[in-house]
Amino acid sequence: MKKFPIWSWLMILLGFTYFLLPLIGTLDFSLRILKDQLSLDAYVNVLNAVRFQNTFTYSFTMALWTIVACTLLVAPTAYWVHLKLPHLRPVIEFITLLTFVVPAILLVFGLIRIYSRPPLSLMESEIGSDFLLVMGYVSLALPYMYRAVDNGLRAIDVRTLTEAAQSLGAGWRIILFSVIFPNLRAALLSGAFLTFATVIGEFTIATFLARPAFGPYMANLGQTRPYESTALTIISLALTWASIGMIQLLGRGAQGQLVGTR
Amino acid sequence: MSFLELNNVRKTFGQTDAVRAFNLQVERGEFVSFLGPSGCGKTTTLRMIAGFELPTSGAIVINGDDVTYKPPQKRNTGMVFQSYALFPNMTVGDNIGFGLKIAGEPKSAIQKRVDEMLAIIKMEKFGARYPYQLSGGQQQRVALARAIAIRPQVLLLDEPLSALDAKIRVSLRQEIRAIQQKLGITTIYVTHDQEEALSLSDRVVVMNDGRIEQVGTPFEIYNFPTTEFAAQFVGTLNTIQATVRDAARGALIVANQEITTSQKLDGLRNGDAHSIAIRPERVSFAADGKKPNVLNVRIENITFLGSIVRVQVSAGENIFYMDTFNNPFLSLPKIGDHAEVTFSKEAVLVLKNK
């Protein structure tokens, strides 16, 4: 007879208690804006607040720009490194990991110091400040996007596919847009959702660049409206989980296509 | 002038010479195989013809056009890879039509050519499938169709059957040869499998250590290898140490017994030690009928290989093999017995060492 795996279940229980209990507590708190009854009023208040709508729309837009900029920077770079400079792969990986070593506060002060005075006084205009914010976000998202794309490139035989396309008469533009990028669809979307989850609630860079973003709004709300603030936390978590769910879903779809092609 | 010419082509990677002074002329419609062990430079040479590697020196000419420094996409060569390299995001039909689409051919012409190619590879009903829905053999047939759909000047195949199982390898290689002959495409085929090279090719280029060892028809390569490497690499071969007794007569001494060869012993003097070679299937028991050369040997071992029985014998310090066809009534001596073996003068190959 198989022994009951008591230790395994104990670890699961411990993990559940540590990770999920605080979430359940937060969810419960967000539903108790009215005395002695559960209600969604905190959520309704949050979703109806004009500042929520404005800041969320702003952060959403910035996240989209970040995804575009990050994709245009990372995908061709990672492809070229795989194809022509494989010996530089550890160097590129190190550069992308610098984000984890340099705190966001240092990054934003560096950005402000360099770009708030001539010759590139970017912070004097709204567009300039938004541009700086997106560039800061690109730095934050770099490790996630690079890893996603790098994994995608490892799953396909980049060199042979490139050579096969070349022998059929394709130039670099066609190779990238017709052969390589379509086969990196799942990896690029994974990177995009990870980027989105990282930047949508970002606080430090947006605060110090004085941008009307979702992260600072959440922090501000937490100091004055505790129930709405916890509701916002749950909404933010749901968005992150939805992003991760999408990554899983798309990753599963792409796996089948790559079987037998490596 | 030949259709494809490689003139003094050389390729070095750092300090290593991958291909040294490679000269080859291939005629239009010819099927030539590069045969050799891993690292002999055969794939590097093929990649230089395709344009994926630039020669360190020398010239590559296709149909009178010097393509040495032309990028791969401007050479009009079709390439088939070991790993198929089908585009996973495209259907079989789109894969086959990819090159034609790039060339800007009209949709109707592309569809017509794709249908033609599907018919040639006998996969008419597979046009809408994706590569991951096909077996390895089917994927390689599609890769072949994709490469020939663009009507290439030269078709290049880089060990296309290596990833397939033995049975499919045999059927697909016959298919490749039939398609090549039907379309008359000049073809270069890279392989380390001697059976593949011998069965497919008009000519075989045996390569070793970046050099051409021998170029010849499969018949010539197998029956008249000119170097020890070519002889050893293609088929099984007994190498025997002999001493020249009478160079003018072609007489040699093996284990104190005289044998003769029909080949010339150019440059050798009486008393010189030299390697000779004999294929196992050219040796038989003298009891079955004597040929000009007879050696007294000791039976060392007997191995059954299905249709063939391989007998290991020794003559002095030389140990070599003889092959005989298996049949239920075959009577063989026992291990340790002494016997006479025989072979013709023509079977004794005098190897020149490069």
- Chain B residue numbers with beta carbons less than 8 Å from the beta carbon of A165 are 87, 98
CB within 8 Å: A161 and B150: no
Q: Which residue has the higher pLDDT, B110 or A125?
A: B110
Host H or E run for residue B157: strand B154-158
Domain assignment of residue A182, given as a range: 40-253
Chain A residues touching B139 at Cβ < 8 A? 260-261
Q: Average pLDDT of A53-67? A: 92
User: What values do phi and psi take at B175, rounded to 5?
Assistant: -65, -45
Q: Percentage of chain A with pLDDT > 90?
A: 34
How much of chain B, in percent, has pLDDT values that exceed 70? 99
Residue A34 lies inside a defined structural domain of this protein: no
Helix axes A185-199 and A50-83, enclosed angle (nearest 10): 140
pLDDT band with cut points at 50, 70 and 90 for residue B117 = very high
Q: Within a domain: residue A20?
A: no
Half-sphere exposure (CA, 13 Å, Cβ side) for B4?
Answer: 27
Q: Does the CB of A160 have a partner CB in chain B at under 8 Å?
A: yes
* Predicted confidence (pLDDT) at residue A258 exceeds the cutoff of 60: no
Q: How many structural domains are present in chain A? A: 1
What is the residue-averaged pLDDT of chain B?
Answer: 91
Contact A261 B88 (CB under 8 A): yes
Please report whether residue A240 resides in a domain.
Answer: yes
Burial zone of A65 (CB within 10 Å; 0-12 exposed, 13-18 middle, 19+ buried):
middle
Q: Alpha-carbon distance B283 to B324, whole Å?
A: 8
3-state secondary structure of B198: helix
Residue A23 domain flag? no
**pTM recorded for the entire structure:** 0.78
**Which residues in chain B have Cβ-Cβ distances shorter than 8 Å to A185?**
89
Span B335-353, mean pLDDT? 88
- pLDDT per position as a tens digit, B148-158: 999 999 999 99
In a domain, A262, yes or no: no
Residue A259 located in a structural domain: no
In a domain, A180, yes or no: yes
* pLDDT value at residue A112: 86
Distance CA B188, CA B160 (A): 11
User: What's the rounded mean pLDDT across residues B150-173?
Assistant: 90
Q: Kindly report the CA angle at B223 between B217 and B228, in degrees rounded to 5? A: 100
pLDDT band for position B248 (cuts 50, 70, 90): confident
SS3 B315: strand
What number is the average pLDDT over the span A120-125?
79
Q: Is the pLDDT of residue B353 over 60?
A: no
pLDDT band at A240 (very low <50, low <70, confident <90, very high): confident
Q: Is residue A24 part of a domain?
A: no
Planar angle of CA A82, A87, A93, nearest 5 degrees: 75
* Nearest by CB: A160 against B75, B76, B81: B81
- Answer whether A174 touches B (CB < 8 Å): yes
Task: Give the CA dihedral A59, A61, A62, A66, nearest 10 degrees.
Answer: 130
Whole-Å CA distances, B271 to A55, A134, B228 = 99, 86, 21
- ipTM of this predicted structure: 0.81
The pLDDT-based confidence of A256 (bands split at 50, 70, 90) is: very low
Q: Please provide the average confidence, as pLDDT, over all residues in chain A.
A: 86
Residue of A nearest to B53 (CA): A163
A157-206 residue pLDDT tens: 899 999 999 999 999 999 999 999 998 888 888 888 889 888 888 888 89
Contact at CB, A183 and B77, closer than 8 angstroms:
no
- The domain that contains A77 carries what CATH number? 1.10.3720.10
